[in-house]
Structure 1
Amino acid sequence: MTCHYRCATSCARPVPNESDNAYFGDVVRAAVSRRGVLAGLVGLGVAGAALQQAAPANAADGDARLFAMPYAPGHQLDFDAIAPVPGEADSFDVPAGWAWAPIISWGDPILPGAPEFDIDAQSPEAQEGQFGYNNDYTTLIPLPGRTDRALLVCNNEYTNEELMFRGFVDAASATDEQLRISMAAHGMSVVEVRRTDADSPWGYVRDSSFNRRITPGTEFSFTGPARGSRLLRTTADPAGTTPVGTFGNCAGGTTPWGTVLSGEENFNGYFAAPEETDDAAEKRYGVTEPGRGWERVDPRFATTVERQEPNRFGWIIEVDPFDPTSTPKKHTSLGRFKHEGATISLAADGRAVAYMGDDERFDYVYKFVSRERFREGDRAHNLTLLSEGDLYVARFTGDGAEDRRADGRGEWLPLLTDGVSRVPGFSVEEVLVHTRLAADTLGATKMDRPEDVERNPVNGRVYVACTNNTRRGTVDDEGVPRPGIDEANPRPENKDGHVVEISEDLDDAAATAFSWNLVLVCGDPAAADTYFGGIDKDLVTPISCPDNVAFDTRGNLWISTDGNTLGSNDGLYEVTVDGPQRGLVRQFLSVPTGAETCGPVINPDGVVLVAVQHPGEVDGASPDAPASLFPYDGTGQPRPSVVQVWKV
């Protein structure tokens, strides 16, 4: 059910990256085959002993110039780790001495005139004024000078009509009204929240002037070099400057100037398109799907009507939550692919740096460096920083198995610098609109679904969550081998994922070279192919399928999971990344059956926020036979919700 609605069952379809570039494994083999040491690593078939005692990179010196905003060490969360919760359990579990409560749920009214949630009285108009469905990336931005008022901004990634409407069968039999309701439930929600003091829970403000819904019908503006490109023009927008709508919004980031970034991820599954196409870009982006039926109520979602419309999605968008009348932006400078999200750091010279992952098997990790520099207090200027800059893609090089570590060096390969394409045969607009094809040409490293990519504001290192890739080391239907294992992706048929740690040269986010190592190879600690930073594996909590990451004020890494393969519900985990306990994993909370843990926010005051996405999304479930009743509010239906957890 999740695969069908979120990503058009991409795992069952051909891998979009069929490029024959010299992927990472080839580079390693060429470098070390004469020494005969790679055979030892491959012979293990897994990470295993080759990952023992990987040394952490040197920590950054804490220079605040490196970070998006001051982030002084402070509150340490004190909790006793919980045990994994069986996957069929319909419960939200937190440590002893902690409490939880929802802040807001799907269908809660946030705009004037919107009705209360009623699954049997839905309408497109109601949903446009209510909190959207399937909350993913979440951020909490305090109002200036206040600790009791803040703006909660959340992505509403996708809908599951089987759980939204009684008797729903499929898109072909859906009513036009159901299609419009589903469309209105996508996008983003901005909501003001308030609390009486730092020890009390947050509650949302129903009719705040800050509240806003952004949907597939919201007007946007393109920025950057591809604005106005021939590749972005449609019948409704012949200038190619004013795209309409956003959907598939997964993770994101909060900028130092107080805006929110959101990644348009699985956009390809929303377009009705011919299964067979000769267009290389359509194939590479997977725009060969039957769609979700939206073309019936909005013809632009049929590629036979608007061939270019898919090119207007797959971007990083920027929203100003403090101005509900502002026009959101789609930044072409950051490239187009299945963006998990984008997070911002500041380089040593003040330029804004965005880290990004392309959430697809065998796709890439990217970095953007702005042309202009951040100016403290000059918000108007800072709002333009993502419009122009340099775009890079990562190539990882291993140093072989001789040192018994999975580590090495890497470089950020230039796709676009100083306003000039650095990819032979690609114009600037082609680099930005067809970024995947450009990165293929340069020979970037094919990774295991790189999702969230974030810089630790305490130690300065960058963490890449590679969720999984069960196709690595296998063959396709025609017997052609797919990419095999390498040091940065050490397991064949990688079902549990891993986390890469990057240390950029000179501790500078603008650097074009880096070193790297694996900090986690996830799965059952008892399995030989798992690794936890070198710590005794008997001490750690099992973890599978890392997705979103966040950090607390001590620099601990927090990981939310999506798709636990170990028989347990997904959850949120704390991971120590520095000191003698490096690699220690402790589970903080567990979400209900069928749910995914998203958008963790680890507040300096010790309050934790998580987005509980698609609770009860279990095959065969329906409104008349729900698999979950989360958030247990008496409605008798599962409702995606943003939850707060605090110590009592």
Structure 2
Amino acid sequence: MFKRLLPMAGHTRGNRSAVTCELKCGNACSNPVPNTSGNETFQQVAERAISRRAALAGGTGLAAAVVIGGQVAQAPEALADNGRPPRGGGKLDFEPIAPVMRTVDDVTVPAGYDWGTIIRWGDPLFADSPEFDIEHQTGASAAAQFGYNCDYLNVISDGGNDRRGYLVSNHEYTNEYIMFSPEYIASHPKDVVDAGIQSHGLSIVDLERTGKGAKWEYVRGGRRNRRITGTTPFRVTGPAAGSDLLKTVEDPTGTRVLGTLNNCAGGTTPWGTVLSGEENFNQYFTGRGTAEEKRYGIGTKPTSRGWENYYDRFDLTNEGYENEAHRFGWIVEVDPEDPTSTPVKHTLLGRFKHEAGTAVLSESGHAVVYSGDDERHDYLYKFVSAKTYRAGDKKHNMSLLDEGTLYVAKFHGDSPEREIDGTGTLPSDGAFDGWGEWIALASHKKSYVPGMSLEEVLVFTRLAADKMGATAMDRPEDVETNPVNGKVYAALTNNTKRTAVDEANPIVGNRDGHVIELTERRGDHTATRFNWVILLLAGDPAVSSSAYFAGYPKELVSPISCPDNVAFDSEGSLWVSTDGQPGTIGYADALHKVTLDGPERGRVQQFLAVPRDAETCGPVIHDRDNSVFVNVQHPGEDGMWGAHTSYFPDFLNPAGPVQVGDDVAAPRPSVVQVFNVTGNNGVGKGSGKEKAGKGKGGHGKGKGPKN
């Protein structure tokens, strides 16, 4: 039976939910840091620095909050001071909104914009899909509907077609406390487990609209519609395919895996496929207590979801299933144009908690993939293909990730150690910056790590990176390449456990996180050397002495904390979504624009805020369409069945429990489009908030494959 453990109850900051900690990452912060390597790249911090940092953090309260009661919020007055333009500028012009209180159950957007849902958890994807019935969910129904807790997102129009396209969305994890009633959990425990497994994975969904700039609608029964779940067959490729480390009693070949789990950020490749990172896979398994399992955070206690009670493969103590967890933690590749294709797990990109899988072509035509390992004190990685891209040859291009070299990053600062004191005080050269090197771990032909075979490096990549002295970072999450300036941007969400600092991670107890800008040598993504600089030290400048915005005046920026996903608009400006602001600076999670060039470099402007308890995920910026897309993940996470804290997106700010006809209302993770309603882009003025009832949202056009 599903168990509510909540080890983080009473230990989270602000309004951060202990439920999120339990279900999203398996209470990572309550467990010892898996990386105990103590790499020499750390500088030990004197006790005076720790004491000073504690003194600076103590005795301060949150800045005076601006209460937002409606859907549109006005800009903070400070943004208009000193003659600086209050609007966002660029193709997607907007007036920045003020920070939004964390209890507002709405999407808050700038004046002149509105929002609407494209698709929600449970919306039927196929002509024969059952309508969403929240009180009678099963594995079969979940496999035919849009999954839960959407994370990575991309929205792609068909080449030159303003009216048709598709979206791809990951489904990171499930929250059975608000998906099911206690009575249903008690009386239908296997249905709960099966629905949970099938609500993971990815969704590919066809879209249509009336014209450029208009709101997209999803197409029920679309040609590309597909659900990839926790039981979909995957093919394993690369040097570890067929390894004894991947074989189980159900797959003695080590080449076929059922399902993908905890899919977080990802990316669309230059050849049109989608990469998806398997992140906190450890929480689904009961382990044996081996050193390798501990390094990946796999515990020995029963899991909260209890999948191991019905499926032997989730209990690694069962004979023949010892390697099942080795079959997760990869980057997977899916072809959205072919719903009948078998998705792939790429072993040469390494096994760890992949937050991202960002593919870019170098000038030489080699495919390069960047990825972060989302764990305190873990690493940043890069893969470079051996073969080069061929235009129009998708079959060839889908093999690029099977041959090449996997690297891990080591950062070097250029300031004296005494100037990196853990407080965030800039060194004498005026910046936290330096150079770095990409250390080779393995190629498709051999291991570069002493004492480890090629297969061991790929299956136990964290241990390999430990041995090679990689720089332990503050939760490296999304890593994206800027299509305009060619630089690489890494979001480092936070690390409250940091007690020793280096110039790339300069804050003791870093609770707000930071963003690093990397420039590959000679502008070549295949280079083995890079330069780096910290672009942002996040925080609320009204209360944080360490907050830094590339030198831009602190009083003129929107507060920002816990950077998670990053994206770019057509002009190369950086957009940053957050995960954890309610627990650090007290405001709802948000999406911010960051200027990268000129006198405005480092200027942070808040574009939107998400509803109560929710996280902003997968931002997509279509500024030529005057549209922004985000996944609203885990709205109402801190509630329970019958005591919901959110009813997003269908019933906002209710006075009490909601029931409409035979439908019990509950929060539903959703894909949201924010669009301009001023009439200057072909969009008529009006609301996009469909209060969709049971079964609404499809167009009934044909039948598509389900797995």
Instruction: Give the TM-score normalised by structure 2.
Output: 0.82
* Match status 1:175 vs 2:185: no
Equivalent pair of 1:24/1:397 in contact (CA under 8 Å): no
Give the alignment of 1:271-290 within 5 angstroms. 271-274=285-288, 277=289, 279-288=290-299, 289-290=301-302
Kindly provide the amino acid, as one letter, of the partner of residue 455 in structure 1: T
Distance 1:646 1:235 in 2: 51
**1:90, distance to aligned residue in structure 2 (A):** 1.1
Match of 1:616 in 2: 636
Give the alignment of 1:469-484 within 5 angstroms. 469-473=495-499, 484=500
* Match status 1:16 vs 2:34: yes
Match of 2:439 in 1: 413
* Match status 1:294 vs 2:307: yes
Of 654, 669, 680, the residue aligned with 1:640 is 669
**1:348, distance to aligned residue in structure 2 (A):** 1.9
Change beyond 3 A, Cα 1:43–1:405: farther
Of 421, 427, 435, the residue aligned with 2:453 is 427
- 1:487-512 C-alpha deviation (Å, 9 max, x unpaired): 11111111110001111100010010
Distance 1:119 1:153 in 2: 24
Match of 1:540 in 2: 557
Number of aligned residue pairs: 597
Match of 1:32 in 2: none
SS of equivalent residue, structure 2 residue 456: helix
Gaps of 5+ in 2: 1-18, 57-88, 416-426, 652-659, 678-707
Of 574, 589, 602, the residue aligned with 2:593 is 574
Change beyond 3 A, Cα 1:245–1:418: closer
Change beyond 3 A, Cα 1:607–1:439: same
Equivalent pair of 1:362/1:448 in contact (CA under 8 Å): yes
**1:283, distance to aligned residue in structure 2 (A):** 1.0
**1:169, distance to aligned residue in structure 2 (A):** 10
Change beyond 3 A, Cα 1:492–1:41: closer
Match of 1:257 in 2: 271
Equivalent pair of 1:24/1:396 in contact (CA under 8 Å): no
SS of equivalent residue, structure 2 residue 271: coil
Distance 2:506 2:287 in 1: 36
Match of 1:58 in 2: none
Match of 1:34 in 2: none
Distance 1:252 1:168 in 2: 36
Of 341, 344, 347, the residue aligned with 1:326 is 341
* Match status 1:515 vs 2:527: no
**1:43, distance to aligned residue in structure 2 (A):** 9.0
Identity of aligned residues (%): 55
Equivalent pair of 1:348/1:510 in contact (CA under 8 Å): no
Of 354, 365, 373, the residue aligned with 1:339 is 354
Change beyond 3 A, Cα 1:173–1:230: farther
**1:176, distance to aligned residue in structure 2 (A):** 1.0
* Match status 1:628 vs 2:646: yes
- 1:144-168 C-alpha deviation (Å, 9 max, x unpaired): 3422111111001100000101127
Distance 1:576 1:328 in 2: 37
Runs in 1 of length 4+ with deviation above 3 angstroms?
38-46
**1:20, distance to aligned residue in structure 2 (A):** 2.6
Distance 2:42 2:483 in 1: 29
Match of 1:67 in 2: none
User: Pairwise CA RMSD of aligned residues?
Assistant: 2.0
Equivalent pair of 1:348/1:508 in contact (CA under 8 Å): yes
Change beyond 3 A, Cα 1:42–1:228: same
Equivalent pair of 1:272/1:293 in contact (CA under 8 Å): no
Distance 1:639 1:163 in 2: 9
Distance 2:636 2:52 in 1: 38
Instruction: Give the TM-score normalised by structure 1.
Output: 0.89
**1:427, distance to aligned residue in structure 2 (A):** 0.8
- 1:517-568 C-alpha deviation (Å, 9 max, x unpaired): 1000001112211100100111100001000000001111000100111111
* Match status 1:602 vs 2:621: yes
Equivalent pair of 2:213/2:626 in contact (CA under 8 Å): no
Equivalent pair of 1:394/1:444 in contact (CA under 8 Å): yes
- 1:426-450 C-alpha deviation (Å, 9 max, x unpaired): 1111111100000000000000000
Gaps of 5+ in 1: 30-37, 49-73, 474-483
Match of 2:570 in 1: 553
Distance 1:329 1:210 in 2: 18
> Bigger shift: 602-611 or 246-255?
602-611
Distance 2:547 2:328 in 1: 37
- 1:388-418 C-alpha deviation (Å, 9 max, x unpaired): 1100000000011341321001000110136
Change beyond 3 A, Cα 1:371–1:567: same
Match of 1:487 in 2: 503
